[in-house]
Structure 1
Amino acid sequence: MSKRKFLVPEFGPFSGMRVICSGSLIAMPFAAKLLADFGAEVIHIERPGVGDTLRILAPFAKVGDKTISTSWIQDGRNKLSLSLELNLKHPEVKELFYGLLKEADVFMENMVWLDKLGIYDEDLLKVNPKLVIAHISGFGNPAFGGLPEYCDRASYDMIGQAFSGWANLNGNAGEDPVIAKPWLNDYVSAMAAVFGVLAAYAGVQKTGKGQVVDVAQFEAQAQYMCDTYVTYTELNTVRSRGGNKSPTMQPYGLFKSNDGFNVAIGAFGPGVYTRFIKGVGFDLDYFSYKDCSIDGAAVASPKGRELDAKIIEWCAAHSADEIENAMAAAKVPCSRVNTAKEAVEHPHFNGRNDFITYEDQTLRKDVKAFGIAPKLSGTPGKVWRGAPAIGQDTDDILKTVLGYDDAKIAALREKKLI
């Protein structure tokens, strides 16, 4: 087909980009959602009668006999749902799938074992030489190196946190590691996938040639480890858990207010440290930056420990509002730890239109969910439709994108391929 026809409204910087994706919770579908929020047409292939397993991730919202995951409500939006038994051993499926790829810019997946379905990168690039192919897996595609037996392993979010060493950094000293919630590694991997896809897509614009993007969950998380690896390779020091407070600067941690809130306060560097000390009315000459916060030794020194105790005492004598107001006046980073209820009701969130309403297509009711981020001044993203019901757009996709007629669609449905 020479001219593409789209089913989604035109908006955002990715308008005109078509993404075909297949897989399930959470990294790949979330990456596709990010692209869809900014205008890409995302066709999400789901198994007939089963769908993306994100649909059945508790907890659930219910209306009458209709039930759907709150995760799907949030992250399934803006997509088209194509119900398809994606196994290329069926000639009709192969024709359909390849037809879609000819009309697409990107194919994304996190199914891992594609050879069982007859899907091979070299074949896809023959079908569409400009195609960007993105694989998201726990340990990576063996074509990019690594131990084949590891590349063949299954994975979840916490596996990426564990294998990268991220989990070893989180929690209290002397206690077990803490897995970051909710699904941090999946979302980090999704961000890596979006970056990789857009980098490869930019390459297509320059060279006319598609390529493969390989996102391994453990590597995506490893990029967020800051100096952890270099601290070992250059200083022979293995960083581990130390709780919420920083061992090398202060204040930097959570402090309890007199009305029961946990409040985060951070003061890195001499400028912010000075503003903090003055803001809480302490003696800067006595609690100097050099003596109390310049490095780990200063923080751990008797005077450094005295300052920590004094900060704890000061916070315990003030309400969370008083702490936040004092820190705001002193230009010191600070926030109480909000619950979901407090975030949804907060005037700053709402002043930025961060919570929006749209109709979920399974429940057929308006739902309130987190909206679009980041904000763009010229080509903003938007939510044009809530998360689809399974296979909701199958007929429209086949007719509009591939030009199938009712008889051809009926034959596929008769064979239970759609």
Structure 2
Amino acid sequence: MERPLEGIRVLSLTGALFGPFCGMVLADLGAEVIKVERPIAGDMNREWGPFFPGVKGPDKSAYYVSIHRNHKGITLNLKNPKAKEILKELVKKSDVILENFKPGTLDEWGIGYEDLKKVNPRIIYACGSGFGHTGPYSLWPSYDIIGQAMGGFMDMNGWPDKPPCRAGSSIGDIISGMFLCIGILAALRLREFTGKGQKVDVAQVDSMVAVLENAVVRYTLEKKIPTRIGAKHPTITPFDIFKCKDGYVVIAAGNDGIFKRFCMAIGKPEWITDPRFDTNPKRTANEAILKPLIEEYTQSRTRWEVAKLLLQNDVPSGPVYNVGEAVEDPHVNAREMIVELDQPQYGKVRVAGCPIKFSDTPIKKFTPAPLLGQHNVEVLSSILGYTKDQVDALQKEGVI
């Protein structure tokens, strides 16, 4: 076995980012993930940029490619009765159904959880949505930004004098996708003992509430509403970004011992006993005084000059990178976090790699994202025994 999830088959009826991100993690871990898309157009994210120069049609999106490596891809018109029967036949021979349609949609089509568990009682039915499959808002449509907004995250993100801010990446989808993956793995584990599958329901809003960290107890305990404070930490100081000659550097003094080492490193030993700064609560109360003093030091130096000095003194620090700097960083590449795909119709493309590093089953192989319907013949013939003529006939009928 080369990867931990080899032998697990996942049917991914997903779109946008929430579901596909979960599918990508499962595929990286070795599951056979079969992406099921509508014919002709495919997933909506095939129309999201950036686009490959010179590539036309449904396979032009680099966005799609970046989250569908290691997949197989087929097309099914799930409103067609024959396509539904094909899906059910595939469900009989699969372990997981992954979908992020609006709740109730697949039930209306006759291929929801109650329908499919009759076909295969061992199936793990994993569903992602904005608000979950229960609750008063369950039928509301959603995207990442809604999850960030209604999960309380956006109001905390940004600067005090600016409006609430969406995170730079779609973490409402990404975090939810990771939670959904965790739920699938737990359900597969339980199935080893019970022999039965179950439904796994993960919502964007739930997921964003779950990662609010201490903001929840700050509200429930102190009745304070945490809001935007920029890059700094609400209860630890200094724990922020500081201006340098060429950008910003992070300094993270998570306890009094680190703060003492920081003071010695930059030649400010008097701060250690300064009554305004000698404990973390005092530093936090006087953050508006301390930050300008620190920036008097950092502004005359580059990011790396500051970071290297502090790291030599065991003070957590690092430059604030832009995306290009992160992608080209030698450590990031040594960790194989940028991988190359040989994408049909375009050629070599670099995408983010998998951050999970196994000692015995390293994730080394990355296959390109599927072209729309690329594996129709392979999947339907190898799993269901269809002939190529039968597959061609289904295509002519608009089933696939």
TM-score, normalising length from structure 2?
0.95
1:74 to partner: Cα distance = 1.3
- 1:65-214 equivalence runs, <5 A: 65=56, 68-87=60-79, 90=81, 92-112=82-102, 113-142=105-134, 146-147=135-136, 150-214=137-201
Equivalent residue for 1:331, pick from 292, 314, 322: 314
Q: Distance in 2 between matches of 1:227 and 1:305?
A: 22
1:395 to partner: Cα distance = 0.7
Q: Distance in 2 between matches of 1:57 and 1:383?
A: 26
Q: Distance in 2 between matches of 1:339 and 1:233?
A: 36
Counterpart position of 1:55: 46
Counterpart position of 2:374: 392
**Which amino acid in 1 is paired with 2:393?**
A
Residue 270 of structure 1 contacts residue 289 of structure 1 at CA under 8 Å; is this kept in 2?
no
**Which amino acid in 2 is paired with 1:126?**
K
**Which amino acid in 1 is paired with 2:284?**
V
Percent same amino acid at aligned positions? 34
SS in 2 for 1:181: coil
**Which amino acid in 2 is paired with 1:270?**
D
Q: Distance in 2 between matches of 1:34 and 1:213?
A: 16
Counterpart position of 1:262: 248
> Does the alignment pair 1:321 with 2:304?
yes
Equivalent residue for 1:273, pick from 237, 256, 259: 259
Task: Flag structure 1 segments of 5+ consecutive residues without an equivalent.
Answer: 1-9
Equivalent residue for 1:300, pick from 281, 285, 290: 285
Q: Distance in 1 between matches of 2:274 and 2:123?
A: 55
**Which amino acid in 1 is paired with 2:315?**
V
1:31 to partner: Cα distance = 0.4
Equivalent residue for 1:348, pick from 331, 346, 357: 331
SS in 2 for 1:200: helix
Counterpart position of 2:397: 415
CA RMSD in angstroms comes to: 1.8
Q: Distance in 2 between matches of 1:288 and 1:102?
A: 70
Counterpart position of 2:388: 406
SS in 1 for 2:190: helix
1:293 to partner: Cα distance = 6.4
Task: Flag structure 2 segments of 5+ consecutive residues without an equivalent.
Answer: none
1:228 to partner: Cα distance = 1.6
Cα deviation 1:338-387 (Å, max 9, x = unaligned): 122212222112222222222113x2411122222211111122344111
SS in 2 for 1:386: coil
Residue 267 of structure 1 contacts residue 333 of structure 1 at CA under 8 Å; is this kept in 2?
yes
* Alpha-carbon distance change, 204 to 235 in structure 1, aligned in 2, over 3 angstroms: same
Counterpart position of 2:36: 45
* Alpha-carbon distance change, 151 to 293 in structure 1, aligned in 2, over 3 angstroms: farther
Residue 273 of structure 1 contacts residue 289 of structure 1 at CA under 8 Å; is this kept in 2?
no
Equivalent residue for 1:243, pick from 227, 230, 233: 230
Cα deviation 1:40-69 (Å, max 9, x = unaligned): 000000000011112111121223557622
Q: Distance in 2 between matches of 1:289 and 1:114?
A: 64
**Which amino acid in 2 is paired with 1:76?**
H
Counterpart position of 1:6: none
Cα deviation 1:67-95 (Å, max 9, x = unaligned): 622222211111010111013x51x2232
**Which amino acid in 2 is paired with 1:340?**
V
Counterpart position of 1:358: 341
Residue 252 of structure 1 contacts residue 264 of structure 1 at CA under 8 Å; is this kept in 2?
yes
1:402 to partner: Cα distance = 0.7
Residue 304 of structure 2 contacts residue 318 of structure 2 at CA under 8 Å; is this kept in 1?
no
**Which amino acid in 2 is paired with 1:274?**
K
Q: Distance in 1 between matches of 2:221 and 2:237?
A: 25
SS in 2 for 1:179: coil
1:188 to partner: Cα distance = 0.5
> Does the alignment pair 1:29 with 2:20?
yes
Q: Distance in 2 between matches of 1:106 and 1:261?
A: 46
Residue 260 of structure 2 contacts residue 269 of structure 2 at CA under 8 Å; is this kept in 1?
no
1:296 to partner: Cα distance = 4.6
Residue 52 of structure 2 contacts residue 346 of structure 2 at CA under 8 Å; is this kept in 1?
no
**Which amino acid in 1 is paired with 2:98?**
M
**Which amino acid in 1 is paired with 2:184?**
V
TM-score, normalising length from structure 1?
0.91
Q: Distance in 2 between matches of 1:335 and 1:178?
A: 24
Q: Distance in 1 between matches of 2:200 and 2:31?
A: 18
Q: Distance in 1 between matches of 2:327 and 2:66?
A: 14
* Alpha-carbon distance change, 27 to 293 in structure 1, aligned in 2, over 3 angstroms: farther
1:295 to partner: Cα distance = 4.5
Counterpart position of 1:226: 213
SS in 2 for 1:382: coil
Residue 13 of structure 2 contacts residue 100 of structure 2 at CA under 8 Å; is this kept in 1?
yes
1:174 to partner: Cα distance = 3.2
Residue 263 of structure 1 contacts residue 336 of structure 1 at CA under 8 Å; is this kept in 2?
yes
